[in-house]
Each structure stands twice: as C-alpha cells, then as structure tokens.
Amino acid sequence: MKEKLETVLLQLRQVTRERDELRKRLALSSPGSTFDDCRPSPKPNHDYERLKVQCMKAMSDLQSLQNQHTKTLKRCEEAAKEADFYHTLHSRLLSDQSQLKEDMDTLKRKNSQLVREHNHLQQSCEEMKRLHDEDQKEITDLRSQQQQVFL
C-alpha cells in the first residue's frame, strides 16, 4: 500500500512538473507574456484531479492500515506477555513436579523401610507369642506337678 501511495505521489509530481514546464515555455514563447503567466491556473486539469483523488484515497488507506497495524502490535504484545506468563508458570510447575517426584521417591523408600520393620516386628511378636504360649504351658505343667506333689 505504501508503494502504491509513493507511485501515485511520484506521478502527481511528474504531471505537476510537466504542466509547469509547459506553461513556462508557452509564456516565454508568446510575445508580451510575463512570468506571472507561468503560474498554475486556478482550474486544475483532469489528470491532476484524478491523481489528487487517488492520493487522498491512498492516504485514507494508509491511515486505516496504520490503525490496524497499531491494534495488531498491541495484540501481539499482549500475546507475548501472556506467552511469557504461561512459560513462567510452566517452568514453576515443572519444578514443583520434580520436587514432588523426589518427595514421592523418598516416601516410597520410607514406606518400604517401615514395611520391612513391620514384618520384622510381626515375626518377633509371633515368636514372642509362641514363647509365651510355651512358657504358659510349662507353667501350667509345673503347677499341675506341684499340685500332685501336695496331694
């Protein structure tokens, strides 16, 4: 769009130069003419008007594109900020996930250790019960023997 505007402006300048040059030639070649005759006439020619309208349209289009560009830049900046926010959040979550995995591994090791200790204690408890039962039986047998001795 900018190139189109520049092309139109270039054409407008060229036509204006050509018109002014032709007026100067005409004024200088005519007897009794003055330099004042070289000034542009108040009645513009058809090409000039057409180029002027094209220029105004191009300027309007340029303004519209500039507004659109500004809005797009603003949306782009907002998207970049949002992307940065989510990048930071993602990084934090990855760090938290890593820490939680380490904590989970530590808890699994502790759990395994506690399960081993529990199994060991359970075996010890069963052994103690067995010994207790044997001791109780022996005590019962001894009491029974003692009562038979006293009878």
pLDDT (tens digit per residue) in 27-64: 676 665 555 544 555 555 777 888 888 888 888 888 88
Give the list of residues 6+ apart from residue 50 with CB closer than 8 angstroms, or none: none
Interhelix angle 2-29/46-150, rounded to 10 degrees, is: 170
Tokens 């395994």 appear where? 112
Token representation of residue 52: 């002027």
Across 2-6, 34-38, 88-92, the highest mean pLDDT is recorded for: 88-92
Report how far residue 49's alpha carbon sits from residue 72's, in angstroms, rounded to the nearest whole number.
34
Report how far residue 72's alpha carbon sits from residue 80's, in angstroms, rounded to the nearest whole number.
12
Token representation of residue 58: 């191009």
